Amino acid sequence: MATVFIISAPSGSGKSTLVNLLLQRDSRLLFSISYTTRAPRGNERDRDSYHFIGKDDFLAMISRGEFLEWAEVFGHYYGTHRSYLDRGQAEDCDLVLDIDVQGARQLKQRIAGAVSIFILAPSREILEQRLRARCEDSDEVIERRLKGAVEEIANYQQYDYVLVNHNVEESVKSLQAIVQAERIRRIRMERLIEPILTSFGSFHRGSSNKEQ
């Protein structure tokens, strides 16, 4: 069964860089490309960064129940299509989702075993520096993102892991460690454990092997 890894962060925290490096280093991870109604930015390409679609098409997909989660952020819709989870299970890959707090909350309600990770910049000042260094947004938009960051950060306790992104290399190694740890949890190893137990023949689940 595919494990779903939810990664959230305020804009400018370095989430995209970390996710890209994580995917490069782990071939068993599949990235879920979100659908959005916003226009492409910079070098973004359809079906690479996002699936860019019109609002009417997005709303129609909502009505057909095609999204695992969806949310409206800064006037634009974003959503995770169910097909990525099906593909991950078919290809024996774990799924990585880059989604906001709203979407993460929906996913945790629908997929009980989903693992959530929240990424933080070391401080507000550093977050603002990173936003300005991207040279993508106006001062007005940057202020709006910083205000939104306060609201997102207030939800950090809802996440299974919190990672402070001081250094990219250290942070991506922490992400790799989280993925590896979750993969070897007992509940995710059942399909590998079962044949071992069967090989013992008389082993019964729940039996006590304590010496009398």
- CATH number for region 4-198: 3.40.50.300
pLDDT of residue 186: 64
Q: Which residue has the tokens 């989280």?
A: 178
pLDDT given for residue 204 in this prediction: 54
- What percentage of the chain exceeds 70 in pLDDT? 93
pLDDT tens digit sequence for 126-167: 999 888 887 777 888 888 889 888 889 999 999 999 999 999
- In this prediction, residue 211 carries a pLDDT of 45
Does the pTM surpass 0.85? The reply is no
Q: Which residue has the higher pLDDT, 96 or 207?
A: 96
- The predicted structure's pLDDT at residue 194: 80
What mean pLDDT, rounded, does the chain reach? 88
* pLDDT category of residue 210 using cuts at 50, 70 and 90: very low
Strand ranges across the sheet with 29-32? 29-32, 94-98, 4-8, 115-120, 161-164
Rounded mean pLDDT of 6-10?
A: 95
Contact 117, 6 (CB under 8 A): yes
DSSP 39: P
Which residues, listed in sequence order, are joined to residue 29 by a DSSP beta bridge?
94
Among 21-30, 40-49, 84-93, 96-105, whose mean pLDDT is lowest? 40-49
Average pLDDT over residues 166-192: 89
Say yes or no to pLDDT of 206 above 70. no
Whether residue 44 contacts residue 50, with contact meaning beta carbons closer than 8 Å, is answered with yes
